[in-house]
């Protein structure tokens, strides 16, 4: 049996897979835990195993939202420390591996079916081989590189989401100024994430793009602000939310285009994470690809790079489970 996990700042998903081959697609058991309600990952793991049937786990792989160094990871948006050796002891399993969560998702991209993607530029070549990349906005912003050796892909972790935000318009310069007064260093993650989407909304509200009606203020104050902005923006329910999504989509595309240039991603760019499937109609309206291709002399190069939005939310889990079969 394979134990796989996707450990994020908002939620942690754990699952058991029957080991049937190199691709793990259907978990035997799966459970989701609100991460911030647990002081340690060990508490989450104990809760999951307590609900699980008694099975022999041969190998475990966990995707973690944070860098993994020497078999340890201190999660970026949680006060958790995970250690492969401690997990080996806790589980009584020899083969345990921690991966960066977006690296795990990159493995997952290799096992998704064609109908589990939405291609933003369908005129691009689907059969082109070469290095590929993954960018994934959710609670934070993750990136991964898929190195192509001529025969197969090797996903590699990155913390490129913490790179400096580079504004490309007068409005984006004002966004940078606005956020810098509040948080100092402005990385792409400060904009391309759930909290970042709400930051764009606040910028528009505070700079007078449109008035915030009482019903919208109440919805934001009584729930998750980024969820409210997303739902109302997708529905076209208020210009503050709609424009926040447009800004988000364009900047998301710009960051993805930067990544494509860094990697020379002839094999394509995947867009993962929890936000993209929820706003795929916005990503398809041209704003994302406008940001992606607006790179001066490299417009032509970027127009040929296939951009695919992953629609299956289990991609990181599938990737972790598939990697575990190699242990």
Does one domain contain both 211 and 155?
yes
- Residue 174 tokens read as 């004002």
Does one domain contain both 125 and 78?
no
Find the helix packing angle between 225-235 and 194-206, rounded to 10°: 70
User: What kind and span of H or E run contains 307?
Assistant: strand 307-310
Does one domain contain both 87 and 127?
no
Does one domain contain both 247 and 269?
yes
Tally of domains in the chain: 2
Concatenating the DSSP letter of every residue in 5-24 gives: EEE-SSEEEEEEE---SS--
In a structure prediction context, what are the per-residue pLDDT tens digits for the chain, which is 327 residues long?
999 999 988 899 999 998 876 667 788 899 999 999 999 999 999 999 987 778 889 999 999 988 999 999 998 778 999 999 999 999 999 999 999 999 999 999 999 999 999 999 999 999 899 999 999 999 899 999 999 999 999 999 999 999 999 999 999 999 999 999 999 999 999 999 999 999 999 999 999 999 999 999 999 999 999 999 999 999 999 999 999 999 999 999 999 999 999 999 999 999 999 999 999 999 999 999 999 999 999 999 999 999 999 999 999 999 999 999 999
Look up the CATH number of the domain holding residue 295.
3.40.367.20
Q: Could you tell me whether strands 95-100 and 59-64 are parallel, antiparallel, or unpaired per DSSP bridges?
A: parallel
Domain that holds residue 242: 115-311
| Cβ atoms of residues 100 and 144 within 8 Å | yes
Query: CB count, 10 Å around CB of 176?
Result: 17
Does one domain contain both 124 and 44?
no
Q: Which of 325, 316, 327, 256 is nearest to 12 (CA)?
A: 316
Query: What pLDDT score was predicted for residue 26?
Result: 82
Does one domain contain both 288 and 318?
no
What whole-number distance in Å separates Cα of residue 195 and Cα of residue 227? 10
Q: What is the CA angle 224-229-230, rounded to 5? A: 100
Does one domain contain both 98 and 124?
no
Look up the CATH number of the domain holding residue 98.
3.30.420.40
Query: What pLDDT score was predicted for residue 21?
Result: 67
| Cβ atoms of residues 57 and 2 within 8 Å | yes
What whole-number distance in Å separates Cα of residue 190 and Cα of residue 59? 35
């Amino acid at each position: 049996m394979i134990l796989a996990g996707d450990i994020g700042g908002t939620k942690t998903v754990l699952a058991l897979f029957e080991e049937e081959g190199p691709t793990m697609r259907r978990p035997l058991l799966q459970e989701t835990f609100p991460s911030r309600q647990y002081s340690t990952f060990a508490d989450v793991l104990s809760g999951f195993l307590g609900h699980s049937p008694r099975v022999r786990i041969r190998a475990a792989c966990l995707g973690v939202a944070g860098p993994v160094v020497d078999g340890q990871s201190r999660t970026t948006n949680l006060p958790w420390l995970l250690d492969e050796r401690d997990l080996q002891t806790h589980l009584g399993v020899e083969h345990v591996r921690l991966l960066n969560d977006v690296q795990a998702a990159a493995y997952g991209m290799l096992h998704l079916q064609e109908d589990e993607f939405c291609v933003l530029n369908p005129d691009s070549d689907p059969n082109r081989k070469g290095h590929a990349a993954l960018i994934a906005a959710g609670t934070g912003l993750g990136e991964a590189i898929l190195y192509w050796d001529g025969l197969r892909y090797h996903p590699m972790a990155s913390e490129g989401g913490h790179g400096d935000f580079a504004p490309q318009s007068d409005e984006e310069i004002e966004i940078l100024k606005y956020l810098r007064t509040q948080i100092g260093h402005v990385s792409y993650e400060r904009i391309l994430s759930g909290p970042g989407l709400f930051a764009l909304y606040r910028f528009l509200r505070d700079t007078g793009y449109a008035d915030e009606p009482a019903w919208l203020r109440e919805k934001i104050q009584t729930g998750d602000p980024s969820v409210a902005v997303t739902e109302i923006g997708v529905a076209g329910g208020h210009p503050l939310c709609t424009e926040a999504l447009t800004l988000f989509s364009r900047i998301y595309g710009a960051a993805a285009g930067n990544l494509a240039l860094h990697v020379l991603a002839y094999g394509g760019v995947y867009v993962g994470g929890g936000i993209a499937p929820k706003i795929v109609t916005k990503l398809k309206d041209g704003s994302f690809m406008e940001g992606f291709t607006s790179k001066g002399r490299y417009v032509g190069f970027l127009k040929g790079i296939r951009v695919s939005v992953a629609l299956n939310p289990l991609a990181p889990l599938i990737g972790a489970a598939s990697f575990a079969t190699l242990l």
